[in-house]
Amino acid sequence: MSDAIFAELNRAARLPVETAGVLLASVVSTKSGPRLLGRRLLWVNEDAYARREADGLSIRSSGYVHALGEAANMQAAAVWLHTHPGVGSRPVPSRHDHDVDSELIDVFRLRTGSPYYVSMVIAPTSDTLSFTGSIWSSDDTRWALDRIQVVGDRLQALSSFERHQRSEHAMFDRNIRAFGPAMQATLDELRVGIIGCGGTGSSVAEQLARLGVRQFTLVDPDELTASNVTRLYGSTLAQVGAPKVEVVGAHLRDINPSVQVDQLRSSICVQSTAESLTDCDVLFGCTDDNAGRLVLSRLATYMMLPVIDCGVLLSADAHSRVAGIDGRVTTLVPGQACLVCRGRINLRRAASELLTPDERKRRAEEGYAPALGGVEPAVVSFTTAVAAAAICELLERLIGYGPSPRPSEVLLRMHEREISTNRAEPRIGHYCHEAAGKVGLGITTPFLEQTWSQ
């Protein structure tokens, strides 16, 4: 959910009496279960409460029926939620809450047209919220709501009140001394997707594993070449010819045997691969192709999936003399401009990258498509520096040690020893603008409302 919706929940949870509302959410089916994308929060009107006290409430149907109609119009599920007031209260449903759920399941499903009914209880803590909840599908499958992820200027991940968290491993002692055990637990539960496993991507993966991230989805279609070994962490000349995702995946498991890796030897421009990334909590864009960045940019908006996109450009003249060393780290979250609005994607090159090699050559010769570049210079020191800047962006947004509001882009001009930052808002009318209604829209046909190669 957005940080604005979370702020509303936080405010309501701190009222002295129980408060109820309906959260309208898109539902995305992933291999680990349904994922809800909170889009709009509607509170029960004051006159719909038949009783509202610190230890209970009852509500007339007029308090939620209008919300179910809106959910149906948005093709969203309706999440029935209420608060348990008082810092330290247990957000655990009472027997009465269970009875209410039994009464509402069929009503909510029938009026929204969604196969899902979701119920949630929230309570305030000293600095945030605690919660429990359940998702019921029409075939009576039940999932526990295990986590709330807040996406915005800050990134927050709250685990359910009833969820058992792993004890910290001794190897992360120095991290815990810096960030505390709660942050270590957050890193432990994140699933991170890394798109591109070259110099930047392998460095991002290495750092995340050493920070305590254990769940990875690695995406890269290529095999390791001899010239990759100078930059790709964990690689050796003996592995030349092996898929990059396998090289990086094996290296992560060597660092921490409890790491779990999904290795997709594919391009993010393949629809099934892009769909599989909806299971992740955050994505790192470490690909150098424009078409892949278009997909990442839409995933950030449609799936409310934070993307940290990296770019490295090393310029050299005809005599192999370095002319420029530039790096870019852009954080894509709702409210901030996408890569298209920022002019970070060459749309003609993106279109050309999606053509077959023969068709691309023919169109380039006819002047209808730009010829794609050849082998670019790359040096491990610079790709690693940009990867480290990207990891620092993730940590800063999880921990919040920097200024607020946070910049959404960091530009590194290493040849000039300069760093600059900026914030850019979406263009009016573009899909990443809130008024376009695409933020958290979820699964669409076609996927992400874009054309896919067959």
User: What is the tens place of the pLDDT at every residue in 310-368?
Assistant: 999 998 888 888 889 999 999 999 999 999 999 999 988 888 888 776 777 777 677 66
Compute the distance between CA of residue 28 and CA of residue 440 in angstroms, rounded to an integer.
Answer: 10
Mean pLDDT by 10 residues, the chain (454 residues): 96 97 97 95 96 95 96 97 96 94 95 96 96 94 95 94 77 93 93 98 98 97 97 98 98 97 97 97 96 97 98 88 94 96 92 77 69 78 97 96 92 96 96 96 96 79
pLDDT of residue 454: 65
pLDDT of residue 373: 64
- In terms of Cα–Cα distance, which of 303, 395, 401 is closest to 1? 303
pLDDT of residue 126: 94
Beta-bridge partner residues of 38: 25
Type of residue at 411:
L
pLDDT of residue 370: 66
Give the DSSP per-residue string, 241-259: TSBHHHHHHHHHHHH-TT-
Q: Are 160 and 123 in contact (CB under 8 A)?
A: no
CB within 8 Å of 145: residues ≥ 6 apart? 118, 120, 131, 132, 133, 134, 135, 160
